[in-house]
Amino acid sequence: MKKNILVTGGAGFIGSHVVRLLVKKYPDYQIYNLDKLTYAGNLENLADIENADNYHFIKGDINDADFVLSLFKKHPFNGVIHLAAESHVDRSIESPMEFVFTNIVGTVNLLNAARTAWQNQFEGHIFYHVSTDEVYGSLEHDDEYFFETTPYDPRSPYSASKASSDHLVRAYSHTFGLPIVISNCSNNYGPNQFPEKLIPLAINNIKHNKTIPVYGKGENVRDWLYVEDHAQAIDVIFHHGKTGETYNIGGNNEWKNIDLIHTLCSVMDRKLNRPEGTSRKLITFVKDRAGHDLRYAIDATKLYSELGWEPSLQFEEGLSKTVDWYLSHEKWMENVITGAYEAYYKKQYEQR
């Protein structure tokens, strides 16, 4: 069956990998990328597929309910993969309201539009919400994991807004029968990630001999997954996930922040031909993030046993590929930091 898929947030980090995978793997599908192009949206991430016949970019804001509904009336979407969001915890601490608007209200606008446009003819339709493991809260002990059944306990404005949107997506399924699926994934890393997040920020700072800010004592633990593996998991869940279900996605790859930074420093020393130990000197312990969650760890057994997905890359390989990508995409980093891409692409699309 041919599919018309709306991907939201496709110009962002994870969304760009999802869009590329779908455009290349499914030439019979039409892929519509709806993105507002906030500071985190960058069409340069999709330059290699922007002229593909089955790819369409739509600049727009999911917070605009009328616009979103008109889009669903114009295009016969039968699948939605919803990634658009404000995604950075530190920004959510600085200004929570943006997170409420985009992550909660924007999601409800999409749910309403899908429900209205699909007119209760739900056969062959699916609304997929891409979410985070941060909704489950923080783990205190090494032997604890997040399961799909773990009660929600969000603790930052970001995770609270994602938890709200997950609840609303489930409520639309329960109350209106909207066919939905949700995945909750651990921390992603890889090409195209905005350098406010730990790994690209550290790579960029090391390259320019700037300090690497480590929050608190660097003891917080995150589970890291290569972004292309996440995109593969989304493809599998979108096509084969059971309607109404939730799937955890993880890398089975937990690192204390300080150990991860030490490893990254060694990789950078090697790649930049600097004596081992050079980059480590840049580590600077800074004031901890308010409410900093101690540990996230995912049990992704359900996804493996029911749908056969598991990560394809070992962390060492993924980190090496990631460092290579950032070192060979200096211009990308420069454009992102100076905001140059924003001006360029916004102008280009406003002229169409």
Sites of contact with ligand NAD (CB under 6 A): 8-9, 11-15, 35-38, 40-41, 61-63, 83-85, 87, 102, 106, 130-132, 162, 185, 187-188, 194
215 makes contact with ligand TYD (CB under 6 A): yes
- Catalytic-role residue among 136, 145, 158, 296: 158
| CA distances from residue 299 to 102, 174, 237 in whole angstroms, order as listed | 28, 25, 16
Around 219, how many Cα atoms within 13 Å sit in the side-chain half-sphere?
8
Q: Of 314, 346, 352, 341, which Cα lies nearest the Cα of 45?
A: 341
335 makes contact with ligand TYD (CB under 6 A): no
* 24 token code pair: 């290349």
- Could you tell me whether strands 221-226 and 254-256 are parallel, antiparallel, or unpaired per DSSP bridges? antiparallel
Q: Which of residues 235-274 bind ligand TYD (CB under 6 A)?
A: 257
b/e for 296-306, b at 16 or more Cβ within 10 A? bbbbbebbeee
Considering the complex, what minimum distance in angstroms separates the CB of residue 158 from ligand TYD? Answer: 7
| CA distances from residue 294 to 138, 157, 162, 255 in whole angstroms, order as listed | 6, 16, 19, 12
222 makes contact with ligand TYD (CB under 6 A): yes
C-beta of residue 271 within 8 angstroms of C-beta of residue 328:
no
214 binds, among ligand TYD, ligand NAD, none (CB under 5 to 8 A by kind): ligand TYD
236 binds, among ligand NAD, ligand TYD, none (CB under 5 to 8 A by kind): none
- 158 among known catalytic residues: yes
CA distance 127 to 8: 11
Amino acid found at 283: I
Considering the complex, what minimum distance in angstroms separates the CB of residue 131 from ligand NAD? Answer: 6
Considering the complex, what minimum distance in angstroms separates the CB of residue 1 from ligand TYD? Answer: 36
Place of tokens 């993924």: 318
- 86 among known catalytic residues: no
150 binds, among ligand NAD, ligand TYD, none (CB under 5 to 8 A by kind): none
| CA distances from residue 160 to 17, 102, 149, 164, 274 in whole angstroms, order as listed | 25, 13, 17, 6, 42
- 153 among known catalytic residues: no
**C-beta of 8 vs 138, nearer to ligand NAD:** 8
Alpha helices in 39-142 (DSSP H): 65-74, 89-94, 96-99, 106-118
C-beta of residue 103 within 8 angstroms of C-beta of residue 164:
yes
Considering the complex, what minimum distance in angstroms separates the CB of residue 40 from ligand NAD? Answer: 3
336 makes contact with ligand TYD (CB under 6 A): no
- Catalytic-role residue among 44, 86, 134, 293: 134
Q: Which of residues 158-197 bind ligand TYD (CB under 6 A)?
A: 187, 197
194 binds, among ligand TYD, ligand NAD, none (CB under 5 to 8 A by kind): ligand NAD
Considering the complex, what minimum distance in angstroms separates the CB of residue 170 from ligand NAD? Answer: 16
- Judged by CB under 6 A, the number of residues near ligand TYD is 12
CA distance 114 to 54: 21
Interface stretch with ligand TYD, choices 16-24, 103-111, 113-121, 210-218 (CB under 6 A) = 210-218
Backbone phi, then psi, for 308, in 5-degree steps?
75, 15
Considering the complex, what minimum distance in angstroms separates the CB of residue 196 from ligand TYD? Answer: 6
Give the contact letters, 76-105, x = binds to ligand TYD (CB under 6 A), - = no.
-------------x----------------
CA distance 245 to 69: 26
- Catalytic-role residue among 35, 61, 133, 254: 133
Task: Give the residue, chosen from 214, 249, 265, 303, that forms a contact with ligand TYD under the rule CB under 6 A.
Answer: 214
Residues of this chain that interact with ligand TYD (CB under 6 A) are 89, 187, 197-198, 201, 213-215, 220, 222, 257, 289
What residues are labeled active site?
133-134, 158
